[in-house]
């Protein structure tokens, strides 16, 4: 057993692998006894006891009569005990360990059993050995131009025209309205109304199940269709995220119906938009957009340069397993999928190739997790902290970016501790990035062009 530094508790840490651990904490009986007396005094003020005035019943009687209630109240104290041990022992955990079991016997020490995840190891270079790529400024200029061109494409899409298709077969890129019926091949369960439901899909879309495009290409408006395929119903409820006790479910389904309408999307030529916007050339339009989007581009540049800096800081990042990357980016992956849920109705979701969505997120996730872990270890090695005024300043910037008041943002974060912790981490990461830039002499280059 290892003695704690500041707490009266003892603990034993058993590392399972590079990422997981079990933590056993022993709390001396006198401290447990004092905590039970404290809770008993609270209960006697609100729980009437026959023969005693409110708040006058002996603590010993309360503890004997309300033993189960006191034990439930004691369990609320366990997370505080775990946090104290983690802080006092300076354990490098991703989040507070999860309580998995405990042993509580009157008159004996309390034993808590926890499970947790350690921050993965990553090797960092000494700052004297960190150098930025010689072409990083040219690379950013290319990134900036790409972002501006994406804005132009977005403007084109807003003025897109749907042209009906009546004289040819369906092909990739077509937007198709289906009258669709779906039923389970094995059970006969129907997933649609008896008359079918209207569904709109875009053939060849990377998020559409490939079988849909395969079976519809070559057909014409009004044609019937029917085929069978395997689909994954990833959640018991479309609005709940997947969990270990709610695994993915694969079903063999039969899809049938007819093709109602087919459209092709026509984007207006860039030349037409140039004339509308009053510019003579694409470069002139890009320059105007660069000026109009200066604030947003400055934020994008900072985020991009953060990645470049941290990549240069990393000496070696292990090839972490996908499950670890998923756990780090679980919120982000779920947000990607939930975006699909919001964008499409139930049938759209089932026809969506979720593997492609999650796979796309994971394709860049390993590098991004390496950056998060590297920043975390850099912060610990430098002893960086965030002062209240620094966090307030960061909140003011976030509120301005989201076009809301600081007060409303603060109220939102206070109501959601998880989101508050995420925002605090982002603020601390940003401070760490600025420290890196100052040490490497590139902070001035970053702020060039920023607007208030």
Record the tokens describing residue 334, joined without a space: 């779920």
The C-alpha angle 383, 386, 390, rounded to 5 degrees, equals 145
* 424: nearest Cα among 82, 41, 416: 416
Mean pLDDT of 189-205: 85
Mean pLDDT of 317-344: 64
Cα separation, 427 vs 373, whole angstroms = 15
Summary mean pLDDT of the chain: 83
CATH: 3.30.70.1050, 3.30.1330.10, 3.40.190.10, 3.20.20.60. Which one for 2-118?
A: 3.30.70.1050
CATH: 2.60.40, 3.10.450, 1.20.120, 1.10.3120. Which one for 124-155+283-447?
A: 1.10.3120
> Residue for token digits 């004289």?
167
- pLDDT of residue 125 exceeding 60, the answer is yes
The single-letter DSSP state of residue 127 is G
What is the DSSP secondary-structure string of 34-85? Answer: HHHHHHHHHHHTTS--TTS-TT-S-HHHHHHHTHHHHHHHHHTTHHHHHHHH
> How would residue 241 be classed by pLDDT, with cut points 50, 70 and 90?
very low
Beta partners for 246? 243
What pLDDT score does 3 carry? 41
* 335: nearest Cα among 306, 316, 361: 361
Which H or E run includes 155? helix 136-158
In this predicted model, what pLDDT tens digit does every residue of 58-96 receive, in sequence order? Answer: 989 989 888 888 999 999 999 899 989 988 888 888 878
Structural domain boundaries of the chain?
Answer: 2-118, 124-155+283-447, 159-266
More confident residue, 232 or 282: 282
Cα separation, 205 vs 356, whole angstroms = 10
Cα separation, 74 vs 63, whole angstroms = 12
Sequence-distant (≥ 6) Cβ neighbours of residue 113 within 8 angstroms: 22, 23, 24, 99, 100, 101, 102
Cα separation, 217 vs 259, whole angstroms = 11
Which H or E run includes 231? strand 224-233
In this predicted model, what pLDDT tens digit does every residue of 335-389 receive, in sequence order? Answer: 555 555 444 445 555 666 656 666 666 667 788 888 989 999 999 999 999 999 9
pTM of the model: 0.68
Q: Which of 30-34, 194-198, 216-220 has the lowest mean pLDDT?
A: 194-198
Q: Do the Cβ atoms of 92 and 19 come closer than 8 Å?
A: no
Sequence-distant (≥ 6) Cβ neighbours of residue 345 within 8 angstroms: 197, 199
Q: Which fold has domain 159-266?
A: Chitinase A; domain 3 (3.10.50)
């Amino acid at each position: 057993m290892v003695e704690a530094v500041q707490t009266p508790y003892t603990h034993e840490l058993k590392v399972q692998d590079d990422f997981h651990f079990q933590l056993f904490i022993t709390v001396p009986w006198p401290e447990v006894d004092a905590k039970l007396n404290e809770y008993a005094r609270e209960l006697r003020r609100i729980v009437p006891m026959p023969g005693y005035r409110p708040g006058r019943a002996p603590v010993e009687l309360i503890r004997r009569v309300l033993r189960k209630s006191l034990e439930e109240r004691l369990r609320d104290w366990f997370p505080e005990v775990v946090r104290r041990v983690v802080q006092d022992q300076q354990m490098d955990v991703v989040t507070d360990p999860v309580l998995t079991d405990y042993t509580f016997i009157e008159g004996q020490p309390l034993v808590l059993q926890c499970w947790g995840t350690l921050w993965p190891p990553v090797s960092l270079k000494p700052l004297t050995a960190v150098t930025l790529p010689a072409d990083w400024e040219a690379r950013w200029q290319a990134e900036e131009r790409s972002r501006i061109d994406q804005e132009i494409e977005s403007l084109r899409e807003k003025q897109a025209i749907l042209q009906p298709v009546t004289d040819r077969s369906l092909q990739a890129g077509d937007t198709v309205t289906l009258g669709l019926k779906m039923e389970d091949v094995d059970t006969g369960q129907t997933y649609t109304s008896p008359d079918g439901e209207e569904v709109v899909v875009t053939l060849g879309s990377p998020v559409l199940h490939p079988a849909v495009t395969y079976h519809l290409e070559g057909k014409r408006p009004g044609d019937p269709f029917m085929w069978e395929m395997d689909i994954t119903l990833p959640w018991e409820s479309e609005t709940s995220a997947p969990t270990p006790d709610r695994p993915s479910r694969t079903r063999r389904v039969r899809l049938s119906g007819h093709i109602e309408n087919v459209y092709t999307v026509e984007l207006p030529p860039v030349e037409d938009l140039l004339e509308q916007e009053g510019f003579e050339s694409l470069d002139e339009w890009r320059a105007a957009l660069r000026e109009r989007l200066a604030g947003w581009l400055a934020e994008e540049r900072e985020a991009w340069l953060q990645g470049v800096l941290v990549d240069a800081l990393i000496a070696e990042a292990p090839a972490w397993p996908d499950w670890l990357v998923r756990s780090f980016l679980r919120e982000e992956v779920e947000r990607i999928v939930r975006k699909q849920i919001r964008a499409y109705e139930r049938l759209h979701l089932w026809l969506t190739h979720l593997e492609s969505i999650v796979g796309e997120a994971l394709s860049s996730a390993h590098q991004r997790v390496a950056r998060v872990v590297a920043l975390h270890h850099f912060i610990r090695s430098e002893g960086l902290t965030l002062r209240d005024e620094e966090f307030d300043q960061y909140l003011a910037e976030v509120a301005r970016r989201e076009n809301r008041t600081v007060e409303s943002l603060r109220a939102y974060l206070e109501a959601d501790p998880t989101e508050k912790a995420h925002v605090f981490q982002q603020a601390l990461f940003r401070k760490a990035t600025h420290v890196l830039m100052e040490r490497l002499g590139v902070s001035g280059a970053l702020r060039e062009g920023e607007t208030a």
